[in-house]
Amino acid sequence: MRIAIVNDVRVAAEALRRVVSSLPDHSVAWTAADGVEAIAMAKRDRPDLILMDLIMPHVDGVQATRQIMASSPCAILIVTATVSGNISLVYDAMGFGALDTVDTPTLGPTGEMTGVDALVGKIATIAKLVGVSTDHQRATRSDDAAAAPHLLVIGASTGGPKAVADLLMPLPRDWNVAVVVVQHVDVAFSQGLAKWLAERTGHAVRVAEGGERPQARTVLLAGTNDHIVLTKGRTLDYREEPREVFFRPSVDVFFESVADHWPQPGTAVLLTGMGRDGARGLSKLRGCGWHTIAQDEATSVVWSMPKAAIDLGAACEVLPVERMPASIVSRMNR
């Protein structure tokens, strides 16, 4: 995993560099002395993870996190001299997309370091979340990303059909975006739902077939009582496993497969529904640099699913349905 370091204190930056350099399969991508430099560097060379300080001149870690997540999203870990002493700023940064926070290791006068284990543990957790790629795998993934359309994935349950229709209707018909919808609905109603959504929204909507790829200008709807997944070959497939997951098709199962196999970050939306399905998957997508949106309470028929995602820190934005299309179009057009 390529890790960037953003810290204006030279001794702190050196301590972080030593920690990262000591970890197998990890390397220092670049270093920046303040938020301004970090924003520019992230645009030129997006790393897998940024270790972001909070208190810095010019642009602090909160605003740097906000701008990086808006322009070149990636995993960000807040590493500050004292988490407890900057808790308000920590929460602000996490609200803009930072995944977690940890105290900065300290480098003693004789070269000994303290506080290393906590940082290493956080890095290991994020590495599992985003995946560690070899240079060859990363190059292949970049080539795939250039050929693949942008991807918008949507999960919904109770009250979902109307919310999905209201979300899709204002979106452009002719753009390089593929859409896949996972709605908790029995197979007996999936074809009818696809037809209803097409008539209501004006988009090309149909039930996804096993073996096909998401394609631009098409909305694919999960259409069986099995789970729908994205395979390593970027095709859609229906599977019985995991059998223990109650909701079928499961938003979590689909979102997690997308996080594992789609070659570039897209946008993921979790709409109204009962239970917690989708929260874990949305969190994984956010950790992979996706822009994630959860529906607000006021416009949800049942707020359980979006609320679970919000409580988990999985949502970059919490919006009413009517404000989602503008956010999605702005993100996809960048």
157 is catalytic: yes
Catalytic residue among 72, 157, 250, 283: 157
Of the residues 48, 53, 92, 277, only one is catalytic, namely: 277
- The 3-state DSSP class for residue 22 equals coil
DSSP type of residue 109: T
Tell me the two tokens of residue 279: 């929260």
Q: What are phi and psi of 193, to 5 degrees?
A: -65, -40
Contact 4/31 with Cβ under 8 angstroms?
yes
**Catalytic pick among 26, 184, 203, 227:** 184
Phi, psi of 84 (to 5 degrees): -65, -30
Say if CB 65 and CB 96 are below 8 A apart.
yes
Please answer whether residues 320 and 299 qualify as being in contact, where contact means their C-beta atoms are separated by less than 8 angstroms: yes
The residue assigned the tokens 């795998």 is: 137
Total residues belonging to the chain: 334
Amino acid at 300: S
CA atoms of 119 and 53, how far apart (whole Å): 13
Cα radius of gyration (the chain): 21
- The yes-or-no answer on residue 21 being catalytic is no
CA distances from 235 to 87, 107, 180, 208, 256 (A): 43, 49, 12, 10, 14
Q: Is 34 a catalytic residue?
A: no
217-249 CB burial, b ≥16 within 10 A, e <16: ebbbbbbbebbbbbeeebbbbbbeeeeeeebbb
Active site residues: 157, 184, 277
